[in-house]
Amino acid sequence: MAASSESAAVTFDCLMAVGFLRSYSLLILHPLDLDIAKETYLVPKDIDWVQWSKFICHFRQIRDEDVARRYHYGQLRLSRLNWLVRVFRPQHAHNMWFYELPHSSISDFVADYTFPIVFIFATLSLVLSSMQVVLSVPTELLWFEERSNDLQGIGRTFWVFSIAVVLLWALVCLLLLGIPVLVLGWQLSWGYKHRIKSNVKAKGIV
């Protein structure tokens, strides 16, 4: 029983390692990619392009069936992995809120979330002020001209500007929410289509 569990753990580790190296083989395809990887400490600096090509060429032909499921769908960012852990609650997760803690200190957390909080506060303040202007201007006097009444023209200008601000804010919110959803849906559909094509090719080869 113990031997079978140890062999399963070794198999799982091998699949993870092979998938990890296959991702490197797909990311580093040119000498410039290797230089960038060296600058970011992803690979040793004393390896040249010829040595890297000889080592990594064997991992470019590996199929999805030979790697862990983590590597079947392409790149997954840490933020998306954190959300997947929160939604699906896998049994083997070390933490039910994070796949991996993205911040090592509270200062990093505050620095990352300060700008979004300030942006949300500023936009909400602007929109609420615009709504207040719209409600304070009497609409029944906006579109009826009165002679020698400059305040009517100023009120009309403020009212139109406030409406434009509210509509622009709604458009920005729609884009900020809609574009990520569309990109995520496109990536998921590409991943599933790519997996289906890979399975069909594998069955055809077999």
pLDDT in tens, 147-205: 546 667 777 788 888 889 889 989 988 888 888 888 878 877 876 776 666 666 655 55
Buried b (16+ CB within 10 A) or exposed e, 3-27: eeeeeeeeeeeebeebbebbbbbee
Round to whole Å and give the CA distance between 101 and 96.
Answer: 11
pLDDT digits (tens, 9 = 90+) for 17-76: 888 888 899 889 999 999 999 998 889 989 999 999 999 988 888 887 888 877 776 666
Tell me the angle at which helices 2-27 and 49-56 cross, rounded to the nearest 10 degrees.
140
Round to whole Å and give the CA distance between 35 and 191.
Answer: 28
Domain layout of the chain by residue ranges: 2-72, 106-205
Residue 5 pLDDT exceeds 70: no
Encoded tokens for 74:
């392409």
Round to whole Å and give the CA distance between 56 and 15.
Answer: 16
Round to whole Å and give the CA distance between 186 and 123.
Answer: 29
pLDDT category, 2, cuts 50, 70, 90? very low
Higher per-residue confidence, 117 vs 109: 117
